[in-house]
A and B are shown apart, each in its own frame.
Chain A
Amino acid sequence: MDLNTLWFILIAVLYIGFFILEGFDFGVGMLLPFLSRGRDYTAVDHKRRIIINTIGPFWDGNEVWLLTAGGATFAAFPDWYATLFSGFYLPLFLLLLALILRGVAFEFRSKHDNPTWRKVWDWCIAIGSFLPALLLGVAFANLAKGVPIDENMNYVGGFFNLINLYALLGGVAAVLTFALHGAIFLSLKTTGDLMKNARRIATRLWILDSIVLLAFLAATYVYTDILTKLGITPGPIPIVGAAALLVAGYFIRKERDGWAFLMTVATIATAIITLFMILFPRVMISSIDPAYSLTIYNASSSPYTLKVMTIVALTITPIVLLYQGWTYWVFRRRVEGKPETLTY
């Protein structure tokens, strides 16, 4: 395997890590207003704090996966980074605004005791979680479908070219999948009513998400070249993903939250792997002319840079995985209700 292929895989791994991890905290963020309804402000606020505290120690570390994916794309495939980030300018701008508001909202919302203050930040968390999920779903569906790229590797499609049926379906699929993933995470990390509510929402989301993901998979056969790339029977990976999603429904009903969570992890991972399999060896598909597509060869860094980055990445990544995994071990317990024990 050449280094270009290795880096294609490494970037896929970074996105898989990002969507699995940030996926659940996006989901928890989106569900925040829906799992804490009521008339009594104190009770609502208390519930919200518990919900936010389930992801408190993790969300920031999870977000670094996206930054690293961006940085790795820049380092290994500078033309991919340049074309993608300048081409998807407005969606990325909205993504940044959402992530900015969401990030400070976690830190700021409980630092001032005023209902309006907290409500505003809570909406920043909810919308700041929903919007990135939607935008990233739209962006990745467009990547699979192909976008207008000219002979100079420049995206020439404008903003509204990115808004199409397939991309929107991808966006909705991402939102629902992360919401489901987050609901299951919440059932794992809370107790009492909150846990029951999270399970109930997970059951409903599971039905909706299964329908949308199935539709999205079908649409993928229409809008992308999955047929020529993977064949009519797409091979084990998408099938494992679909099976995992089905089994997740079973585990949600049986209240086996841990297993259900593993299943949505598998669904997300296989979805991203499928996407990257459709792309390979291209990184951005030109809808104007296949010859204009960016590939892991024409968009890549020099062999020397790839070699340096390979050594660096293979040395540091295992250490990162180790200590980030350890965080999840340290904070493995459920978040209980005592207000004095809540940080955020």
Chain B
Amino acid sequence: MDPVILARLQFAITTIYHFFFVPLTLGLSVLVAIMETIYVRTGKEMYKEMTKFWGKLFLINFAMGVVTGIVQEFQFGMNWSEYSRFVGDIFGAPLAIEALLAFFLESTFLGIWIFGWDRLSKGMHATAIWLVAIGSNISALWILIANSFMQQPVGYAIQNGRAEMQDFLALIFNPNVWVQFPHTVLAGSTTAAFFVMGISAYHLLRKKNPDFFQRSFQVAAIIGMISIVFVILGGHGQAQHMVKIQPMKMASAEALWETEDPASLSLITIGDLSQRRDVFSIRIPRLLSLLSYNKLSGAVQGINNIQAEYQAQYGPGNYIPPVAVVYWSFRIMVGAGFLMLGLAFYALFLVRGQVYQQRPLVLKIFLWAIALPYLANTFGWILTEIGRYPWVVFGLMKIEAGVSSTVSAGMVLFSLLGFTLIYGALMVVDVFLLVKYAQAGVSSPSLDNQDSSSDESLSFIGAQD
């Protein structure tokens, strides 16, 4: 088998898997911090219970995010050593800063938060979870600074056979960072909001601790509404940026074969990929121009035109990503996004009228809607990364040039199988624990016993000593 394909498959599997856990960590850390802050401000026990209940689910998820994140830090060198040599002068810096600035902060203060319930004042304890939340979100910033260099290389010069950093600030203020970072972080809080609303809906359906879960639902509904609106607006900004810097990604996402002015938006397209044309398509006139430029006309380049242009610019080769994957990823992400927007409005209606019990079907839908942010997160990244094909660093390095030359296909296959098996098993365990603790609610025996969440349970050494 081709070592490049295997290495790509391994990167895809380990990264997508890692990103199942990251968005919830980003968002739920903030949500738990808000809950604990309300507890510190009001002194109401219910918010302490809320902090602990959602905090426990946060911890189960966080552990998975951390351990799968170590793989990310290592596999650039393991599987993509030529890439690492070529961009290390630029790419290594944000990774090192991420570890130094963010990983230390989140892991150290998480330890303090888990074990420090009776060791610290209430205010200090709440500060600890805020520092975890800040640390996680700073880590998102630095890894996106690194990823943005792959999307839109800036602040560099090709010297000594590699890309060398010329301007560190240009790297940080890469325009791509500032459309990608807000979109990602808000996707995190959207994920957390739908996670909390879904589990709360489950308990509201069973009328267990209705007061507790109505409050949880309320906090999440507000955060969810704000987040999803800005995720969509931010996504719109990102798409407009994409038209400028990676027109091929946009053209593929829209299955737009030939340049159009004004450009139409595809609602649904069944294409003939080998002939590079549509078989069946429903398109809305002018809408793509409107979305790309905020006006009713303007040329949006088509796949065939860009291919010809890139061949002239970069030499012969295929510059067209797998159009079907990019096209459908885009639609799944946007579709899930708009469904969440609708549900977020409905959530506010539920909160406002306090009519949860009258709407059991809606509560069921909210439970299932936990899947929506996960779909959107995953396919958003598939769009971003596959849509960059054939580049690993846009315009500078093609994917196959980045792979480790000394790692054989057999070795990659071995590790690929190993990761897949362990990751599969851990997913079962993780879901089992999340379901167990989510179902247990706040007053069931499993939360009051020694293992877990009685008042002392999150402490290192008891209150009595």
Contacts and interface: CB of A to CB of B under 8 A. Distances in A.
B88 A79 contact: yes
B393 to A, nearest CB: 14
B461 A335 contact: yes
Interface string A311-341: 0110011001001100100110101101111
A64 B104 contact: yes
Interface string B421-465: 010001001100100110000000000011110101111111111
Given A86-B78, A339-B450, A333 B90 contact: no
Interface residues of B, number: 86
**Interface residues on chain A, size class:** 35 or more
Nearest to B76: A74
Nearest to B465: A336
Contact of B433 (A58, A63, A111, A304): A111
Contacts of A323: 104-105, 108-109
Interface in B51-66: 59-60, 62-64, 66
B459 A78 contact: no
Interface in B70-101: 70-71, 73-74, 76-79, 81-82, 84-85, 87-93, 95-101
A210 interface: no
B316 to A, nearest CB: 27
Interface in A57-93: 57-58, 60-61, 63-64, 67-68, 70-76, 78-79, 81-87, 89-90, 92-93
Contacts, number: 261
B101 A316 contact: yes
A334 to B, nearest CB: 8
Given A61-B111, A309-B96, A340-B456, A74 B119 contact: no
B100 A97 contact: no
A343 interface: yes
A305 B165 contact: yes
Interface of A: 53, 56-58, 60-61, 63-64, 67-68, 70-76, 78-79, 81-87, 89-90, 92-93, 96-97, 99-101, 103-104, 106-108, 110-113, 153-156, 159, 301-302, 304-305, 308-309, 312-313, 316-317, 320, 323-324, 327, 330-331, 333, 335-336, 338-343
Complex A-B, nearest 5 residue pairs according to Cβ-Cβ distance, in ascending order: A78-B88, A85-B77, A341-B462, A75-B92, A74-B92
Interface of B: 59-60, 62-64, 66-68, 70-71, 73-74, 76-79, 81-82, 84-85, 87-93, 95-101, 103-105, 107-112, 114-116, 119-120, 159-160, 162, 164-166, 168, 404-407, 411, 414-415, 418-419, 422, 426, 429-430, 433, 436-437, 449-452, 454, 456-465
19 contacts: A57-B460, A61-B107, A68-B99, A68-B100, A71-B73, A71-B97, A81-B77, A83-B81, A85-B77, A86-B405, A87-B406, A111-B437, A112-B436, A305-B89, A305-B165, A323-B104, A324-B104, A331-B119, A341-B462
Given A72-B100, A96-B74, 19 more contacts: A60-B108, A67-B103, A72-B96, A74-B84, A75-B88, A82-B84, A85-B81, A86-B406, A89-B411, A104-B63, A107-B62, A108-B63, A111-B433, A112-B436, A153-B85, A304-B164, A316-B97, A331-B116, A339-B450
